[in-house]
Amino acid sequence: MMNKIWLIMLISGISTLIFINPSQVLEAVTQGALDSVNLSMRLVALYAFWLGFFALLEKTGVAGKLAKGLRPLVGFLFPKAEDESNKFVTMNMSANILGLGNAATPMAIRAINSMDDGSGKATLNMIMLVVISSTSLQILPSTVIGLRATHGSAAPADFLVASIIATLVSTFIGICLVKTYGMIGNRLKGRKAKKKALGSLPLMIRE
């Protein structure tokens, strides 16, 4: 998936630029690389802070308690997850709701690592985590409110209700999609297993 998107973006971009302004290709590539270094510098500082803070949460026992308190919800969304994954998932969701995307990311990376079964394929729980983070409820999109205020809005926060409804709807639909996908997958697997069992039956009789 990422491979295709990456190639499409680059091929369509470069082939357009060749016609418009070929000198911009190298410039854009270099700029992208430089931007990523700048961003990593900022992110490493933020990740360090949030990972430190998470260690504090763990040490004081708050992380464990929060995970336990939210178990009914997290357990429904992420069935059969280990305690370790549960804790990271809980922290990820809390950070997302508070609008702390940079705190949510390191937690999610750890959650995914703890869910990794080595098959090279994303498990249903991993898909759920990506979908929930992507559609997550944000109480306060402070960036937008700030930008609206600087552009002279009479009511900078008046889109908030609509925005919250939008995220609630998207999260709900996302959860439904992943759950349905999981159910269909299970059913197909069940059918395959049945076929296998039936297929091996005549052989056994022959023997």
Q: Which residues of 26-50 are buried (b: 16+ CB within 10 A; e: fewer)?
A: eeeeeeeeeeeeeeeeeeeeebeeb
The 61-80 contact track toward other proteins, x by CB under 8 A, reads xx------------------
Integer angstrom CA distances of residue 137 from 47, 108, 172: 21, 16, 10
153 binds other proteins (CB under 8 A): yes
Pick between residue 44 and residue 201 the one whose CB is nearest to other proteins.
Answer: 44
What is the token pair recorded at 78?
């992420």
Are the C-beta atoms of residues 129 and 92 closer than 8 Å to each other? yes
Pick between residue 101 and residue 190 the one whose CB is nearest to other proteins.
Answer: 101
Considering only residues 15 to 34 of the shown chain, the ones binding other proteins according to CB under 8 A are 16-17, 20, 24-25, 27-29, 31-33
Number of residues counted as binding other proteins (CB under 8 A) = 102
Considering only residues 103 to 142 of the shown chain, the ones binding other proteins according to CB under 8 A are 105-106, 108-109, 112-113, 116, 118, 120-122, 126-127, 129-131, 133-136, 138-142
Pick between residue 107 and residue 200 the one whose CB is nearest to other proteins.
Answer: 107
Pick between residue 69 and residue 201 the one whose CB is nearest to other proteins.
Answer: 69
Are the C-beta atoms of residues 78 and 86 closer than 8 Å to each other? yes
User: 64, 68, 84, 148: which one contacts other proteins (CB under 8 A)?
Assistant: 148
Could you say which DSSP state residue 126 is in?
H
202 binds other proteins (CB under 8 A): no
Angle in degrees, CA 74, 90, 41, rounded to 5: 145
Pick between residue 67 and residue 108 the one whose CB is nearest to other proteins.
Answer: 108
Helix or strand run (H / E) with residue 100? none
